[in-house]
């Protein structure tokens, strides 16, 4: 689909690094998806806005959407990782995505 015809963009497609991270993660087997998400979740929650929130607030934010329509919605760990990243500042999204890509490359 050409850029002109593309009317809908996912939140992670706004930054090419974040988009690449999600493209790579989507291709991983479930175990590696969970490994990657688990590895980076502590990194994410140590940064704003999460560093000022209590764990219950973070969990509620990450799991409040009921629908399961995206690939990462079907695994709770991947879903929490994706939602935490989605609500992070753009700079954090990019930094975490770079770490995720590096981590995934090291898994191979």
CB of 84 within 8 A of CB of 50?
yes
Dist CA 51 CA 87 (whole Å): 13
Could you tell me the pLDDT band of residue 108, with boundaries at 50, 70 and 90? confident
Q: What phi, psi does 10 have (nearest 5°)?
A: -70, 155
Domain boundaries, the chain: 29-107
Give the pLDDT confidence of 16-40 residue by residue, as tens digits. 999 999 999 999 999 999 999 999 9
Least confident of 1-5, 6-10, 18-22: 1-5
Token pair for 52? 């000022």
Give the pLDDT confidence of 39-87 residue by residue, as tens digits. 998 888 888 887 787 777 777 767 776 777 888 888 888 988 998 898 8
The 3-state secondary structure of 17-28 reads: HHHHHHHHHHHC
């Amino acid at each position: 689909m050409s850029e002109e015809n593309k009317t809908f963009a996912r939140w992670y497609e706004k930054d090419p690094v974040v988009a690449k991270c999600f493209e790579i993660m989507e291709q991983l087997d479930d175990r590696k998806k969970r490994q990657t998400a688990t590895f980076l979740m502590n990194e994410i929650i140590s940064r704003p806005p999460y560093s000022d929130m209590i764990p219950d607030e973070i969990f509620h934010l990450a799991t409040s959407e009921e629908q399961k329509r995206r690939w990462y919605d079907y695994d709770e760990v991947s879903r929490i990782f994706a939602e935490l990243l989605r609500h992070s500042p753009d700079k954090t999204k990019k930094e975490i995505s770079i770490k995720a890509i590096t981590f995934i490359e090291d898994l191979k």
